[in-house]
Structure 1
Amino acid sequence: MEKSVINPWQWQNGRHYAQAVAVKQVESTFYCAGQAAVHADGTSSTADMHTQLLLAISNLEQVIRAAGFESKNIVRLNVYTTNHEEFFKCFDTFGEWITRNEIRQAATFFEVKSLFETLSVELEATVVK
């Protein structure tokens, strides 16, 4: 697999995403449903945004690994949140995860009216290998 990041500017680098990602010679593509702060027993978290973000990341990583893919090969990441202001208070946690996993992805952030039950953040990814 050959992955190229396209950034005509530099400002997005501090925001932990790329303007575009081109991928050639892909063996397989994995489209992952949105992963949120849902516990293993199926109950939705009632915790704060930061705690929910950590659980959503953990759940996303678990699904990606179970499919035989790696988080570093996320090429598209949509982030849905019910409150941008609260999400950006824990943006450092998000950025640390992106950096630690060497993820170079195109991303879009959406503020939505609501998510399922008590959820406040959801991560939807496309991963390649």
Structure 2
Amino acid sequence: MQKQVINPWKWQDARSYVQAVATSEVKGTLYVSGQTAIDDNGISSNADMRTQLLMALANVEKVVLQADYELKNIVRLNIYTTDAAALFENFGLFQQWIAQHEVRQASTVLEVTSLFETLKVEIEVTVIK
């Protein structure tokens, strides 16, 4: 697998994403459903944004690793949130996670009216091998 990052500018580096990712010689692609702060028993969290963001990222990790893919090979990561202001207050957690796993991905953040039950954030990813 080969992965090439396309960044015509430098400003997005401080925001922990890239403008585009080109891939070639891909052996597989994993399309991960939106991961949220739902526990192993299927119970939705009613915790604050920080807690839900950490749980959602942990669930992303669990799915990606169980599928035998590597987190650093995430090429697309979309975040849906019911509260963009609260998400951005906790964005440092997301940026630490991105840096820790050496992820270089195209991203979109969208504020939505609602998510399932009491959920505040949902993260979907595409990973290549």
| Interval of TM-score (by shorter of Structure 1 and Structure 2) | over 0.9
How far apart, CA to CA, are the structure 1 residues paired with 2:56 and 2:114?
16
How far apart, CA to CA, are the structure 2 residues paired with 1:110 and 1:71?
22
- Corresponding position: 1:41 with 2:41: yes
- Corresponding position: 1:115 with 2:115: yes
Letter of the 1:16 counterpart:
S
How far apart, CA to CA, are the structure 1 residues paired with 2:38 and 2:16?
25
SS at match of 1:80: strand
Q: Which runs of 5+ in 1 are unaligned?
A: none
Q: Offset of 1:94 from its aligned partner?
A: 0.3
TM-score by length of structure 1 reads 0.99
Letter of the 1:69 counterpart:
Y
How far apart, CA to CA, are the structure 1 residues paired with 2:6 and 2:62?
28
How far apart, CA to CA, are the structure 2 residues paired with 1:61 and 1:73?
12
Listed one character per residue, the Cα deviations across residues 2-52 of structure 1 (whole Å, up to 9, x for unaligned) are 100000000100000000000010000000000000010000000000000
Letter of the 1:31 counterpart:
Y
- Residue equivalent to 1:101: 101
- Residue equivalent to 1:7: 7
Percent identity, aligned pairs only, is 55
How far apart, CA to CA, are the structure 2 residues paired with 1:70 and 1:81?
25
Letter of the 1:3 counterpart:
K
CA RMSD of superposed structures (Å) = 0.4
SS at match of 1:98: helix
Letter of the 1:106 counterpart:
A
Could you list the runs of 4 or more consecutive aligned residues of structure 1 that deviate by over 3 angstroms after TM superposition? none
- Residue equivalent to 1:52: 52
- Residue equivalent to 1:29: 29
How far apart, CA to CA, are the structure 2 residues paired with 1:123 and 1:69?
17
How far apart, CA to CA, are the structure 2 residues paired with 1:70 and 1:57?
14
SS at match of 1:126: strand
Q: Which runs of 5+ in 2 are unaligned?
A: none
